[in-house]
Structure 1
Amino acid sequence: MTPLAQLIAQRIRATGPITLADYMEICLLHPRHGYYATRDPFGAKGDFTTAPEIHQMFGELCGLALAQAWMDQGSPAPFTLAEIGPGRGTLMADMLRAIRKVPGMAGAAQVALIEASPHLRQIQRDRLETVTHLDSVGQLPDKPLFLMANEFFDALPIRQYQRAEDGWAERMVGLSDNGLRLGLGPVVQLPREGQPGDVVEECPAAPAIVEAIARRIAVQGGAAIFIDYGGWNGYGDTFQALRNHAPEDPLAHPGEADLTAHVDFAPLAAAAIRAGAIASRPIHQGEWLLSLGAAQRADRLAAAGDTGAMGALRRLTHPDEMGHLFKAMAIWPKGAPPVPGFDKLRLHADHA
């Protein structure tokens, strides 16, 4: 057992099985043994590679999309340029490089990163010149907000429920002779349809985070773009672990593997609309990037000698790579033009 597995086992022996949400939070954020507290998980030497680490064009296009939204809303100054779960700071660095080409924007931007990991905060400080770290979206200032979240919501703790004959039973982490195991708790009532054996997932924290962001945008102006892998209904078991770029049993090495689940975009859109903002339906990441000019940008970079540009374009946009697995969703204020790439994707309240 890993040191964290031993601590989890001690807790289960003392108080009983724990929810998947509790398990994920301990594994990812334990101050001494948690995954994000002890390592840099990104890139070839880590456990996974995110889109900003693949190529600079991803962050540049995200930055230019926010820049157009900023100009469409009258170039408000000052404003907050924020990212949730900013990793190494690569995405923000690439966005800032693009934003500096927009007259007046970089000087008006006050950069804020929402990051829980002290280890990653230091990496971000080393990479970015001036940055303010916040603990939560609730600490964002009351001013126009332009925000990115790439592969943030997939790492938030989830709860899982499995359909039994007489209702839904929550899947819990307990103990067996060989270590940690999944089992079922008491039957509870959920407002969900399903057949015996079906699994549904809920992420309690995500809608509240989106609602707080959307409320600021609805009142102060701004825009937010969320990019993650997921779908629209929350059905199915998507709880997974990644270690050394390969999948493994999520209970095998607590604290030493990345734990994620697919994002259900439906409650995120509903939360944004409830807060008074406009929400888009999700669009494939590849389709969104191509609509922003990703192919043309890759061509220019390749002509300038960037030998990795065309391969990166395929990886980011092709349906067999990240192009369809990942989705993008945006929110913006009522009365403002849509965020670029989301022009015909506006959701109405009765669809969220």
Structure 2
Amino acid sequence: MAICLGDPDHGYYTTRDPLGAAGDFTTAPEISQMFGEIVGAWLAHAWRLTGAPPGARLVELGPGRGTLAADVLRVLARIPGLEGIPVDLVETSPVLRKRQAETLAAHAGRVSWHDRLAGVPGAPLLLVANEFFDALPVRQFVRAAGAWRERVVGLDGTGALAFGIGPGQIETAFDAPEGAILEVSPAANAIAEEIGARIARNGGCAIVFDYGHRRTAPGDTLQAVRRHGYSDPLAAPGESDLTAHVDFEALAKAFRAGGAVPHGPIGQGEFLLALGLLERAARLGRGRGTAAQEALRAAVERLAGPDAMGTLFKAMAVTPADVPPPPFPNAI
């Protein structure tokens, strides 16, 4: 999975811009500016709750085309103490770095790129990760003969790629029928723990948006997306987006292991509606024609509707342990 997505010469993310109608999928920031504006307002509010630490940096993991960062910066420009905040983009794709530079040209003097979070200077973080963790590699284990044995990729009798069962095993308390699959993501957990440690040490906050499940449980969620439709994960290595649903319970444990406090997850729709999505849409639509208002209504439905992104996609916040909680109920 890591090779298919990140190989320098043939990886899916390193060789193309996958977003938009001409690509393979669309993310929330590309649907409407309202998403990024609400995220920016939440970051400013959480920054104040954490004591408005000076020297904060806006950090985005996997920043796509830079659209989310641009919308967030438009909001932060109105917040005293954040109007000139430095921007750190954690991005490994040369193609997407170029698009981000174009989108954020007005902020060129304060934007830096890094291959990993470790490259971001030590400072209070206002960190955003939108559809970042789902693209990190997972390991799968198959229930076989009473044990969890690792699922691997090999060749079948015709020389085509095929799934099989290898010798590796994992010890876990989960029991399940024969053939059930359990997914773990050491890469996601390691980055979440690093984020937690940075926030515990330097202050700030983080907010994560992704599709996934609240609790750790068996299930095969590995999927491939190509041209806005699902495809066989083994059919076109390096040509399809490979993702797996995020285990928010595991992320929360990792944030805590780093020393920070996770809040949520709650549905993306619940988050956006609670922070004023409908009110923002009404304001943007005021005085505009029918077509513009219909487009805004469609964007609200896509972002927050239960049959679109509102329920499957979830939001989780992370703060230091000694600050008032942000507007996130149902902490794990």
TM-score by length of 1: 0.88
**Aligned residue number for residue 195 of structure 2:** 213
Cα 1:122–1:228 change in 2 (3 A) is same
Q: Residues 270-309 of structure 1: matches in 2 within 5 Å?
A: 270-305=253-288, 306-307=292-293, 308-309=295-296
2:233 is matched with 250
Distance in 1 between the 2:180 and 2:168 partners?
Answer: 14
Deviation at 1:140, TM superposition (A): 2.1
Q: CA shift at 1:246, angstroms?
A: 0.6
* Residue 122 (structure 1) aligns with: 98
Worse-superposed segment, 156-165 or 297-306: 297-306
Matches within 5 A, 1:145-294: 145-176=125-156, 177-186=158-167, 188-191=169-172, 192-231=174-213, 232-294=215-277
Could you tell me which amino acid in structure 1 is paired with residue 313 of structure 2? F
Secondary structure class of the residue paired with 1:185: strand
Cα 1:168–1:290 change in 2 (3 A) is: same
Change (3 A) 1:259 1:304: farther
CA RMSD of aligned residues (A): 1.3
Question: Deviating runs (4+, > 4 A) in structure 1?
Answer: none
Give the TM-score, by structure 2 length: 0.94
CA shift for structure 1 position 234: 4.2
2:13 and 2:83 mapped to 1: Cα distance? 30
Q: Which runs of 5+ in 2 are unaligned?
A: none
Q: Is the 8 A contact 1:227 1:329 kept in 2?
A: yes
**Cα deviation per residue 1:178-235 (whole Å; 9 max; x = unaligned)?**
5111111126242132221111001111111011111111121111001100012142
When residues 48 and 331 of structure 1 are mapped into structure 2, their CA distance, relative to the original with a 3 A threshold, is same
Q: 2-side partners of 1:187 and 1:90: how far apart?
A: 41
| Partner SS for 1:170 | strand
Q: In the alignment, is residue 75 of structure 1 matched against residue 52 of structure 2?
A: yes
Which moves more between the two structures, 188-197 or 94-103?
188-197
Alpha-carbon spacing, 1:187–1:277, altered in 2? closer, same or farther (3 Å): closer
Q: What residue in structure 2 maps to residue 49 of structure 1? A: 26
2:81 equivalent to 1:98? no
Pairs aligned (count): 321
Q: Matched residues in 2 for 1:345 and 1:141: separation?
A: 32
Matched, 1:31 2:12: no
Q: Deviations over 1:225-248 (max 9, x none)?
A: 011000121420000000000101
Match of 1:140 among 120, 134, 138: 120
Distance 2:23 2:5 in 1: 15
Cα distance between partner residues in 2 of 1:234 and 1:260: 17
Judge conservation of contact 1:85–1:150 (CA < 8 Å) in 2: yes
Give the fraction of aligned pairs with identical amino acids, expressed as a percent: 52
1:66 maps to what in 2?
Answer: 43
Comparing 172-181 and 247-256, the one that deviates more? 172-181
Give the 3 Å change call, closer, same or farther, for CA 189–49 of structure 1 in structure 2.
Answer: closer
Q: How does 1:308-347 map to 2 (within 5 A)?
A: 308-339=295-326, 341-342=327-328, 344-347=329-332
CA distance in 2 between partners of 1:187 and 1:43 (Å): 39
Deviates more, 1:291-300 or 1:132-141: 132-141
Q: Is the 8 A contact 1:287 1:317 kept in 2?
A: yes
Partner Cα separation in structure 2 for residue 280 and residue 78 of structure 1: 24
The 3-state SS of whatever aligns with 1:42 is coil
